[in-house]
Structure 1
């Protein structure tokens, strides 16, 4: 039975920055949390808040969950990562993700084609920058280096980073859901960031992560809600699932819905999406099965959560990324660390 570590997932900002995000990170560090993570979508970026946190902490690892591929070129992403790694004394974790077609094409104005291939190419370039063994080159279709395509001046040449990276082995994690993407993540990355994971259905991912190298980390986001009534405790989990499965994607393609189907809830996933598209959001949330919501979260009385943690410890999961106030972080530290 492997001991789990804890990470604090700060997620996105809303209309305004969370005024307590630095204090939360400092609290997590004092409690012995291993990591703190910042997300980005079409609002805040992830590197700026993480640098702010890094300047006011000393030991907790600093992760992006996730930096979107389309937000910056691979070399720009590598530059931000090596800079933050230097400034934090080697605490950076680069979490990457392809996002989805709505964001990539609607916000970044780029095609979403071949996300798995694009991810591989992106990581390959970042690894070259961090290794700093030779000028960086790439023959791939998405990020050719040097660029000699349309409108090129023909003057580009391969370059090495001026700054010597602090660590060649700066860890790269990937947020992946589809079978091909997860399989590739186990092959090319140091860790995997599942949006949701069930320790009771390990067979869903067993083959896909079987090729991971030793030390590979699995760090899912796990919603924790301490409450005497289990069904009431599960409501925020159902609300999250209803939004992701119903609304985060088109009718034709929704990666979250497809994952729920692979985990054994095909009919329920279809119903949730149908209700959401009909504008019946409350009914969509109510249609989320309690069993599914319960499997991917830690909800209910404290004693029940302590018992369920044993199931997570008996899975490939290495760290639980949780969100919550100081009281919740304290409770989880007592139960887990």
Structure 2
């Protein structure tokens, strides 16, 4: 039975300066976790540092801090600082990210993502334990690095993974895995590759949630999101592996031809409904619970804003968080 129930922060449209009330509302509603992402909004660590100071009831996690955009030492220092601020409450999630985020936006070569993730995982394991790190890792070398402020409780390290090789790496060398852009029915397929994991292995899943009973609006927004993500080579390969090649080929072909409208039109309602949770808060909560039943131990909602939320402001967000809190009887 999962006792974890997470939310991605910061919330869209709410300034970071106003998030003390958000974190309090999350904890009051029964959420146990606040997880950050790092794409082109806030960085991964600042929202969690604020949460650590403002709401001690929440556990914290990054989903994810890219392994390319910070050097090894800087990534270790960032993680150690949050771990020191929130002892025993922080999990470091790392991942390869994408060529757009890494190369186009951060001017770093996106090469050998599997090897870079493996090497950063091994470096961080040693560095966060307080070791002097002086070795060649394959994709980078570190010379006599040691954290000056080693956290008393080193954070567990989780690895974002899509396909078998990275999933198996997470199972054998990380403390958990972070899943993304999959349906509840896909969880079993992904977790079949983590059979080598030891006890206590965490499974987090980032789940996109559009809390509205206006299915037309939700599907319109979701189609844009699906087209933006699932045309990225790593995600395209992931969904081919999951067996969605036939359902996505028309979208991929139209996108490659530069016809964005045709690409959106090629995304069927069934696919949208599998990958993006939408409906009333009660329906959304039930759909998220299906991921728990499938084996996810830390479901992490990523809210998609709606016109009602934008009109309602802070009061609407607070009411929604209360309605999206964990079910009274969590699934076994």
- State the TM-score, normalized to the length of structure 1: 0.83
| 1:124 to partner: Cα distance | 1.0
Equivalent pair of 2:29/2:325 in contact (CA under 8 Å): yes
Within-5 A mapping of 1:205-224: 205-224=190-209
**2:165 matched residue in structure 1:** 180
After superposition, what is the alpha-carbon deviation per residue over 1:195-230, rounded to whole angstroms, capped at 9, x for unaligned? 222222345314311112212121212122344455
Q: CA separation of 1:43/1:310 partners in 2, compared to 1, >3 Å: closer, same or farther? A: closer
- State the TM-score, normalized to the length of structure 2: 0.84
Within-5 A mapping of 1:10-89: 10=9, 20-42=18-40, 44-89=42-87
Structure 1: gaps (5+ residues): 147-157
Which structure features the higher share of strand residues?
2
| 1:275 to partner: Cα distance | 2.5
Equivalent pair of 2:285/2:326 in contact (CA under 8 Å): no
**1:94 matched residue in structure 2:** 92
In the alignment, is residue 326 of structure 1 matched against residue 318 of structure 2?
yes
After superposition, what is the alpha-carbon deviation per residue over 1:222-266, rounded to whole angstroms, capped at 9, x for unaligned? 1223444555544433331122123xx3xxxx1112222222221
- Identify which range, 26-35 or 320-329, moves more after superposition: 320-329
Q: CA separation of 1:302/1:126 partners in 2, compared to 1, >3 Å: closer, same or farther? A: closer
Equivalent pair of 1:8/1:25 in contact (CA under 8 Å): no
After superposition, what is the alpha-carbon deviation per residue over 1:166-206, rounded to whole angstroms, capped at 9, x for unaligned? 213x1111222232112211221122221222222345314
Aligned residues: 316
Within-5 A mapping of 1:1-337: 2-3=1-2, 5-10=4-9, 20-42=18-40, 44-132=42-130, 134-146=131-143, 158-168=144-154, 170-228=155-213, 230=215, 232-246=217-231, 249=232, 254-301=233-280, 304-305=283-284, 308-309=287-288, 311-324=290-303, 325-333=317-325, 335=327
Equivalent pair of 1:74/1:123 in contact (CA under 8 Å): no
Q: CA separation of 1:291/1:4 partners in 2, compared to 1, >3 Å: closer, same or farther? A: farther
Equivalent pair of 2:31/2:326 in contact (CA under 8 Å): no
Which structure features the higher share of helix residues?
2
Equivalent pair of 1:4/1:317 in contact (CA under 8 Å): no
Structure 2: gaps (5+ residues): 304-316
Q: CA separation of 1:307/1:321 partners in 2, compared to 1, >3 Å: closer, same or farther? A: closer
